[in-house]
């Protein structure tokens, strides 16, 4: 099992460019998440998906959109990149089901994004 | 406001020198507490889940404990390979987690 995979590993964008970060999990998990990690700020939730076909905003959703393509895949899109979006982005998945308890999340290796 | 605070921010230990990391939280109705290890340039790696006060979990040189207000990660006789950032997280609302900013541990030979 590969667990959670993310592409690309590194990306440099110019202000105003767009891109999509891809995430896939092979653990048959229901829930998937996108976080960003900045020095001194910890991991902050951007968007999450509790099940296929549903998405919801997290703590810092502005400037991002997501798509839960199927149970395995959850993508994050930056429509018009800004320098403030320079960060490390992590995707995670969990077998959590809303209303039945919270389970551990498993993380991908991250995408290091620089916006100039 | 739901909050998770970890201390110290950084910890330097000599190999074999035992110590503890703290994670305190202000979340009503705790539904679990999670510990993760994060190596530089990598994603967080799950270590433990604790669900109730008094619970303890162990893995090699690590032992996690939980009280009603905080959790400790005890590191016994650490080795250089234990050097990493240790994160704790608690659930809030549905199945979302709020993370602390972590403790960066360095163990020197």
The 10s digit of each residue's pLDDT in B60-84 is 999 999 998 899 999 999 999 999 9
Q: Which residues contact A41 (CB under 8 A, 6 or more apart)?
A: B101
The helix/strand/coil state of A64 is strand
- How far apart are alpha carbons A55 and B21 in whole angstroms? 35
**Which residue in B has a C-alpha nearest to residue A90's C-alpha?**
B43
Give the per-residue pLDDT at A100: 63
B41 touches chain A (CB under 8 A): yes
B45 touches chain A (CB under 8 A): yes
- Given a cut of 90, whether residue A8 has pLDDT beyond it is yes
- Given a cut of 70, whether residue A115 has pLDDT beyond it is yes
| CA neighbor of A105 nearest in space, from B4, B23, B95, B22 | B95
Q: How many CB atoms lie within 10 A of CB A97?
A: 16
Buried b (16+ CB within 10 A) or exposed e, A16-44: eeeeebbbbbeeebbbbbbbbbeeeebbb
B101 touches chain A (CB under 8 A): yes
What are the tokens at A37?
């990690």
The length of chain A in residues reads 116
Q: Which of A27-31, A52-56, A87-91 has the highest mean pLDDT?
A: A87-91
Q: Which residues contact B59 (CB under 8 A, 6 or more apart)?
A: B47, B48
pLDDT tens for residues A45-64? 999 998 888 999 999 999 99
Query: Which residues from chain B sit within 8 angstroms of residue A107, using beta carbons?
Result: 36, 43-45
């Amino acid at each position: 099992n590969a667990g959670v995979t993310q592409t690309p590993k590194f990306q440099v964008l110019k202000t105003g460019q767009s891109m999509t970060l891809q995430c896939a999990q092979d653990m048959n998990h229901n829930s998937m998440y996108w976080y960003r990690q900045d020095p001194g700020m910890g991991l902050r939730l951007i968007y999450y998906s509790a099940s296929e076909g549903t998405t919801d905003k997290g703590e810092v959703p502005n400037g991002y959109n997501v798509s839960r393509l199927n149970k395995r895949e959850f993508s994050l899109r930056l429509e018009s990149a800004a320098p403030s979006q320079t960060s490390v982005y992590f995707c995670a998945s969990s077998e959590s089901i809303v209303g039945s308890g919270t389970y551990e999340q498993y993380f991908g290796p991250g995408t290091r994004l620089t916006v100039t | 406001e739901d909050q998770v605070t970890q201390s110290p921010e950084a910890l330097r230990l000599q190999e074999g020198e035992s110590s503890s990391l703290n994670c305190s939280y202000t979340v009503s109705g705790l539904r679990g507490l999670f510990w993760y290890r994060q190596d530089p340039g990598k994603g967080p790696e799950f270590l433990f889940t604790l669900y109730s006060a008094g619970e303890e979990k162990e893995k090699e040189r690590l032992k996690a404990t939980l009280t009603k207000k905080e959790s400790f990660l005890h590191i016994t006789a650490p080795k250089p390979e234990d050097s990493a950032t240790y994160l704790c997280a608690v659930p809030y609302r549905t199945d979302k987690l709020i993370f602390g900013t972590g403790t960066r541990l360095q163990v020197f030979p």
